Amino acid sequence: MIRFPFRLVTATLLAGATLFATGPASALDDKQKEEFGAFIREYLIANPEVLIDVQKALQQKQQAAQAAAAEAAVTSNKEAIFNSQHDVVLGNPKGDVTIVEFYDYNCGYCKRALSDMNAILESDKNVRFVLKELPILGPDSLAAHRVSAAFRTIAPEKYGDFHRTLLGGEDRATEETAIAVAETLGVKEADLRAHMDKNPKDAAVMEAYKLANDLGISGTPSYVIGNEAVFGAVGLEELQGKVANIRACGKTTC
């Protein structure tokens, strides 16, 4: 098996690309096309690691495009993301840095990320943490959200405790388990159901779905910090690093 030098292959590919870009495909006759194709195939079989490099480059390009689109979406939706009337703010309401978290009460990664939020709020008294429900994991999640929305309206001062208890619990979040948590915090089931009946159109969740679509969010947890959408449970260290960068240079990456 002949192994062609990488530079030779690169030069050949560039030459081929230039040829096709500046002239019709018929610039190569059938025999030349066959030889060129066989050459590329033989090289890739002998050097399959090139395909890994190509895949990495493609992923990096796609991630950069996704990040740029998300940044534009953050800019055009700032009020709904950071100051929606439907959301609850934990930590310092006048904090110098805001973290917005999109979560689902039945998301296992969200449950593990709960400790990240708690650690940030305990160690940094100047962070404003916005909770934004995104129930995407089925009917139980949506039903639990409706209870959560009612609780938030009735007892907003206790919502942090409700959130931590329901998200941190081992049981699946459902309407029943959410009501049970609410009752332990002094809110009666009858009051919750009365509020749910009065508000069949869930403006909060419709707003969250729209924002998730605009930002390119397809899973939970996801965050918005500054002008960046952060996808996935990235961990405490990365979140704290982005907060520190916002303070240092006004951006999540300095």
pLDDT digits (tens, 9 = 90+) for 98-149: 999 999 999 999 999 999 999 999 999 999 999 999 999 999 999 999 999 9
Q: Are 55 and 86 contained in the same domain? A: no
Higher per-residue confidence, 228 vs 32:
228
Buried b (16+ CB within 10 A) or exposed e, 198-233: eeeebebbebbeebbebbebebbbbbbbbbbbbbeb
DSSP, collapsed to helix, strand or coil, labels residue 101 as strand
Higher per-residue confidence, 97 vs 63:
97
Q: Are 115 and 194 contained in the same domain? A: yes
Q: Are 70 and 181 contained in the same domain? A: no
**254 within some domain:** no
Q: Final residue of a domain: which of 61, 76, 91?
A: 76
Q: Are 116 and 197 contained in the same domain? A: yes
Q: Give percent of the chain above pLDDT 70.
A: 89
The domain that contains 240 carries what CATH number? 3.40.30.10
Instruction: For residue 143, give both structure tokens.
Output: 């039903």
Lowest-pLDDT choice from 14-23, 105-114, 240-249 = 14-23
Q: Are 39 and 130 contained in the same domain? A: no
User: Which pLDDT tens digit goes with each residue over 20-51?
Assistant: 444 555 567 788 888 778 888 888 888 888 88
pLDDT of residue 248: 95
User: Domains in the chain: how many in total?
Assistant: 2
Instruction: For residue 186, give both structure tokens.
Output: 């002094």
Q: What average pLDDT does range 234-254 have in this prediction?
A: 95
pLDDT of residue 57: 83
Q: What average pLDDT does range 67-79 have in this prediction?
A: 84
User: Which pLDDT tens digit goes with each residue over 194-225?
Assistant: 999 987 778 889 999 999 999 989 899 999 99
Q: Final residue of a domain: which of 76, 102, 118?
A: 76
**11 within some domain:** yes
Higher per-residue confidence, 163 vs 227:
163
Question: Following DSSP, what letter does each residue of 188-210 receive, concatenated?
Answer: -HHHHHHHHHH--S-HHHHHHHH
What is the overall mean pLDDT for the chain? 87
